[in-house]
Structure 1
Amino acid sequence: MSLTGIFLCTFLIVHLIGNLQLFKDDAGYAFNQYAYFMTHFTPIKVVSYLLYASIILHAIYALVLTLKNRAARPIGYAQYDGKANSTWNSRNMGILGTIVLVFLATHMQNFWWKYHNDQVPYVEYRTDLATGARSITELQASEFTDYQVTIENNVEIVKARDLYKQVAYAFKNIGLVIFYVIAMAALAFHLIHGFQSAFRTLGVSHKKYLPLIQAIGVWLFGVIVPIGFALMPLYFYFVK
């Protein structure tokens, strides 16, 4: 549980950095190139399969541990106030994790599934390599065979699946935007407890390192990462 959790935390940082391409004002040029790289570069594809396995294992172990805990203590302590000895998020990791799991399924359906099954638009970028001027043309399915980069008369021509446009379209749905923001709040609380708990489980609990682990858990995984992801749907709904 701890190892898969730490791996997933690492992935979140990489994924956030890549998705920052969405904020570039280039009609998705950089983001669509990033999307192609992430789905076709062999080492990344291998890591992706490890990621899917980690998500499944993490969820299964969470369920197993919950059932074991309930079996070990089917009746709660008669005189015990758990709230006095634990944080809110530590007591609600199951609920928070469930929200995150539903979010992942929604996220994969909206973007990963549609991208891999040719259910997103197609785009052509023509960039004049001398001046940097770029034109964007939406392609029909009959005009697209696969991702291509060619140069003709000093003009770079890139044909790609337009995942950027799919993102922009999806985040015009206020219901989806609200759900993403709520899911990122749940992720924040889940990671604040989970990141620190993972290191304790692995035996890294020395007082010399705990302040650093706690700071990373709170500020990086509890603040920066969730806010970074939450800003994306807000940006497309209110700005783009």
Structure 2
Amino acid sequence: MGSSDNRALSSIASKVVMALAGAFLLVFLVVHLAINLLLLADDGGAAFSAAAEFMGVNPVIRVMELVLFAGFALHIAFGFVVSIRNRKSRPIRYVHKSRSETYPFSKYMMHTGMIVLLFLALHLIDFYFIKIGIIAPPPGIERHDFYHRAVLLFSDPLYSGIYFVSFLVLGFHLNHALQAAAQTLGLNHPRYTPLIKAASALYAIIIAGGFMAIPLRFTLFN
């Protein structure tokens, strides 16, 4: 087997690992959204606080946090690897675009991924690092009081705007990521590809729209 074959196999393996890690993160986003939508309940944060407390003391959840961070690390690392390899394998820009480049936002996956990564860092600073004691909570708010922390943050229109735009970018990233993952895993078929595209768009709209509703609610109706 020649070096070109080895590089091809390595590239495919990298894409498969990135796709599988991304699939795990897709499940996490559904669970994370379901819990965070409890912030919208008109109960003073009781339901959300109860769910957050359960997540904080459950040993299974604590283990899953480590798995989650591993999934993020794998997806990000192999995302960089795949992006760099793609750029090196196409040093010359041709006038004729390949089919994969004709999908909206497909060529911006690295850019949207970087924005999502920066937002993830901000989100960890806002909530998770306070939870584990790395950062002190704001005055008047207890370390595990995520409800009032969210109320405080999203009462600022500028801060809500950052979250809102970040979730919008996440939606575009998810839409193409699902389609790319299906292609990498060999699931594309003339009969099923339209369904995959529709499911990808629906998933992205639900996830992004659900998360966008949270800062919007506290900014407009707090």
**Normalized against structure 1, the TM-score is what?**
0.78
Taking a change above 3 Å as real, the CA distance of residues 33 and 119 of structure 1, as seen in their structure-2 partners, is farther
Instruction: Tell me what 1:86 maps to.
Output: 102
Residue 100 of structure 2 contacts residue 106 of structure 2 at CA under 8 Å; is this kept in 1?
Answer: no
Looking at structure 1, the residues matched to 138 and 83 of structure 2 have their Cα atoms a distance apart, in angstroms, of 43
Question: Aligned pair 1:51/2:68, yes or no?
Answer: yes
Q: Does 1:163 align with 2:146?
A: yes
Partner of 1:152 in structure 2?
none
Cα shift at 1:121? 7.4
Deviation at 1:217? Answer: 0.5
- Deviation readout 1:69-128 (Å, 9 max, x if unpaired): 222222323x32469951231010011111111111111110111122184479xxxxxx
As a proportion of its length, which structure holds more strand? 1
Query: What CA distance in whole angstroms lies between the structure 2 residues aligned with 1:84 and 1:200?
Result: 10
Is structure 2 residue 197 aligned with structure 1 residue 214? yes
Aligned to 1:128: none
**Partner of residue 107 from structure 1, selected from 120, 123, 129:** 123
SS of residue in 1 equivalent to 2:207: helix
Q: 1:72 to 1:20 in 2, by over 3 A?
A: same
Please tell me the root mean square deviation across aligned C-alpha atoms, in Å: 2.3
Number of positions where the alignment pairs a residue of Structure 1 with one of Structure 2: 204
Matches of 2:145 and 2:136, distance apart in 1: 10
* 1:26 lines up with 2:43 in the alignment: yes
| Higher helix content, 1 or 2 | 2
Matched with 1:11 is 28
User: Structure 1 28/179 Cα, relative in aligned 2: closer, same or farther at 3 Å?
Assistant: same
Deviation sequence 1:125-149 (CA, Å, 0-9, x none): xxxxxxxxxxxxx89x7xxxxxxxx
The answer as to 2:179 corresponding to 1:179 is no
- The Cα of 1:29 is off from its aligned counterpart by 1.2
1:199–1:83 CA distance, 2 compared to 1 (3 A): closer
Structure with bigger gyration radius: 1
Residues 210 and 87 of structure 1: is their aligned pair in 2 closer, same or farther, counting only changes over 3 Å? closer
Deviation at 1:38, TM superposition (A): 1.5
- Looking at structure 1, the residues matched to 27 and 44 of structure 2 have their Cα atoms a distance apart, in angstroms, of 28
The match for 2:208 is: 226
Percent of aligned pairs sharing the same letter:
35
* AA aligned opposite 1:111: F
TM-score, structure 2 as length reference: 0.84
The yes-or-no answer on 1:235 pairing with 2:214 is no
